Structure 1
Amino acid sequence: MDVLSDVVAELRIGAPHSSRTERRAPWDDRFPPTAAVGFHLVLRGGCRLTAAGQPPLRLGAGDVVLLPRGAAHSIGDHTVGAPTVLLCGAYRFDRSRRHPLLTELPEVLHLAAGPRRPAALDTALDLLTRELDTDPDSGAVGPLLEILLLFMLRAWYDGRDRDTGWGAALRDPDLGTALRAIHRDPAHPWTVQSLGDRAHMSRSSFAQRFTETLGVAPQTYLTRWRMTVAARRLRDTDDTLRVIAESVGYTSEYAFAKAFKREFGVAPGRYRHTATAAAPGYLATGSTAE
């Protein structure tokens, strides 16, 4: 598993949900703000998406839009013609766990159909479209939506040319090696020196480059990732605190609990008690106003 898919797997809650709809002009579906990550896939036809503070987007067949922070928006069309067929829905993420994936993405992530789009994303969209045309209630739709999310995120990160940020670190051959080491084995007693060795850099050079690129020091990122993994296990498993603590590199339950509370503001036991796999829902079809 690569770092991106690893992060998505740890932060995701439950399965995605979606709704296939057909609209004839004039139509206007409005979506309130939500904690979920919304998406729209235009299967046929075209429409316009308008989100607060963002320029309107004209969407055509094959276009896909992701709204990482669940921004309020509307989607509709007033041009009389062939109907528009959409797949709209949401992915749920645990936003109590801090990670650049949840903060670095734009309000509206638009991946337009065309030759510049990655072939892997087009393949995923084609498979999903064929499955929906064959059987909208197929059990394969959910797994295909999971794959679609990963390919959308990869397409966006691969298309970036910034020198800073989590995505830039992923693309950096040296920093990427260190990130993979952290994600592959969070329980390992990593130090700045050992991570620098993995990146084939001196301790000081590695620490400076890591901090300048990601905006946090290596040990800070390591601790946050360990707490992210621990939070998911507290929510999704019955493992004891000792087992969870050891799985993320703590030999002392007390030290683990202290680090966890510093990150989340509550003790691990309290977090487990209040955490739930359910998140605020996402209105998949919106409210139509003609």
Structure 2
Amino acid sequence: MDIVGAAITATRAGEPRSARGRFTGTWGLRFHSGGGIGVHVVLQGTCWLLPPDDSPPVQLTAGDVVLVPYRRAHGLANDPRTPLDDVRPGQQTYWQDDADLPPDATPTVLLGATYHLCSVRPHPLIANLPTFIHMPSRIGADQALRDVVNLLGAELESQQPGTTAAIPALLDLLLIYIVRCWYQRADMNNGWARALRDPGITRALSAIEQHPELPWTVETLAREAGSSRATFARRFHDLIGQPPLGYLTWWRMTTASHLLRETNHPLQVIVARSGYQNEYAFSRAFKREFGTAPGTYRRTHHAVDTEP
């Protein structure tokens, strides 16, 4: 079970949205904060990232990838001194036709994507990401990430049958690879970076996230981790930031909220998948976590119109 993939799937709402742009001359874009993750890919040319934390501008070249967790306000421009134009919500493209390009122009081609996340209940693996992540296209960079970037560029260029389905799937892969790569390279003082490199803790996390419906105890989770109860409980808390059963409850409720938002499954199915014996116990736990009943939450946040 891929812990990174599970974290993204459980907190994401709806399909990723993408837009592309081709720019020449003087241009600048301002992206406002929002409830999701923003990703930019430089497919051709160069530009500058104006980071969300007021750190110095970063030059981007072809193949570079930038991730901005929870869409903090930031900018992209041909030059750090260029004034920025606001990006309108829902604007899908800034593409310039070939006829509009100067004969000797070398355009900068960008792909942007937004992943809408449930910001009320972010997975700590996502919440602990830095203000922005820059994955340069240089020797030694992760080849799988490079391959996804190349495939995205090819799909956008060719516009073959199936492109509308391929691009969201590739965007999903792109997000997973960026987060995975960052945690693989992160400082070992980061709890989740250490947890993902700890085989025992990873096995316990995978057991919880793959089978939240099972009656887990600290003892059974410790056996999954191949450790004594006391050692496992202490190490889990040190790395994850909460006790094993606290995380189990948090994950069960996160899974339940995702199923209520993104599926039409009957409540009794969601109750069973969340590890509760009856709807009454589940509803009490859900209201304690979210401050509202499951039915009210579904009516407010439901995004599915047809039976899956």
Confirm or deny that 1:129 pairs with 2:130.
no
Q: Which amino acid aligns with 2:5?
A: S
Q: Distance in 2 between matches of 1:29 and 1:146?
A: 24
**SS at 2:6's partner residue?**
helix
**Map of 2:114 onto structure 1:** 90
8 Å contact kept, 1:49–1:76: yes
> What SS does structure 2 have at the residue aligned with 1:48?
strand
- Quick one: which amino acid aligns to residue 233 of structure 2? A
What is the DSSP-based 3-state SS (H/G/I as helix, E as strand, rest coil) of the residue aligned with 2:119?
Answer: coil
- Counterpart CA distance in 2 for 1:260 and 1:60 is 46
Cα distance in 1 for residues equivalent to 2:175 and 2:301 = 24
- Partner letter of residue 59 of structure 1? L
Runs of 4+ in structure 1 displaced over 4 angstroms? none
Contact residue 104 and residue 165 of structure 1 kept, 8 A: no
2:144 is matched with 120
Partners in 1 of 2:64 and 2:195 — Cα distance?
Answer: 28
1:97-130 residue CA offsets vs partner (Å, 9 max, x unmatched):
2421331111111111112211111111111111
TM-score normalised per structure 1? 0.90
Are the equivalent residues in 2 in contact too, given 1:62–1:112 (CA < 8 A)?
yes
Question: Which residue identity does 1:93 align to in structure 2?
Answer: L
* Residues 1-290 of structure 1 mapped to structure 2, 5 A cutoff: 1-53=1-53, 54-78=55-79, 82-135=106-159, 138-139=163-164, 140-277=166-303
CA 266–102 in structure 1, closer or farther in 2 if over 3 Å, else same: farther
The secondary structure found in structure 1 opposite 2:265 is coil
Contact 1:191 1:219 in 2 (8 A): yes
Q: Is the 8 A contact 1:168 1:213 kept in 2?
A: yes
Q: Distance in 2 between matches of 1:24 and 1:51?
A: 21
Which letter maps to 2:34?
A: T
Q: What secondary structure is seen at the aligned counterpart in 2 of 1:105?
A: coil
Letter in 2 for 1:34: G
Contact 2:195–2:201 (Cα < 8 Å) also in 1: yes
Counterpart Cα distance in 2 of 1:248 and 1:232: 11
CA distance in structure 2 between the partners assigned to 1:263 and 1:18 by the alignment:
33
Which structure is richer in relative contact order (CA contacts within 8 A, separation 6 or more)? 1
The offset of 1:238, in angstroms, is 2.9
Q: Helix, strand or coil: the match of 1:189? A: coil
The number of residue pairs the alignment matches comes to: 278
Q: Note if contact 1:25-1:78 (Cα within 8 Å) is conserved in structure 2.
A: no
1:225 to partner: Cα distance: 0.5
CA distance in 2, matches of 1:12, 1:190: 25
Equivalent residues of 1:169, 1:214 under 8 A apart: yes
Mapped to 2, the partners of 1:136 and 1:108 lie a distance apart of 33
Deviation at 1:276, TM superposition (A): 3.5
**Aligned partner letter, 1:275:** H
Distance in 2 (alpha carbons) for counterparts of 1:35 and 1:136: 32
Note the residue ranges of structure 2 that are not aligned, 5 or more in a row. Answer: 81-103
3-state DSSP of counterpart to 1:187: coil
* CA shift in 2, pair 1:136/1:61, >3 Å: farther
Structure 1: tracts of 5 or more residues without a match? 279-290
Give 1:31's aligned amino acid: F
Alignment match, 2:96:
none
Q: Once the 2 structures are TM-superposed, how far is the Cα of residue 21 of structure 1 from its aligned partner?
A: 0.8
> Contact between 2:260 and 2:302, CA under 8 Å: does it hold in 1?
no
Distance 2:212 2:192 in 1: 18
* Distance verdict in 2 for CA 1:78–1:2, change over 3 Å: closer
Percent identity for Structure 1 against Structure 2 = 42
Q: Which 10-residue stretch deviates more, 232-241 or 14-23? A: 232-241
C-alpha distance in structure 1 between counterparts of 2:302 and 2:267, whole Å = 18
| Separation in 2, partners of 1:96, 1:173 | 30
**Structure 1 CA distance for aligned equivalents of residues 51 and 254 of structure 2:** 30
Q: Distance in 1 between matches of 2:48 and 2:265?
A: 48
* 8-17 vs 38-47, which moves further: 8-17
Mean Cα deviation higher: 191-200 or 80-89: 80-89
Q: What CA distance in whole angstroms lies between the structure 2 residues aligned with 1:189 and 1:119?
A: 40
- Contact 1:98 1:224 survives alignment (8 Å): no
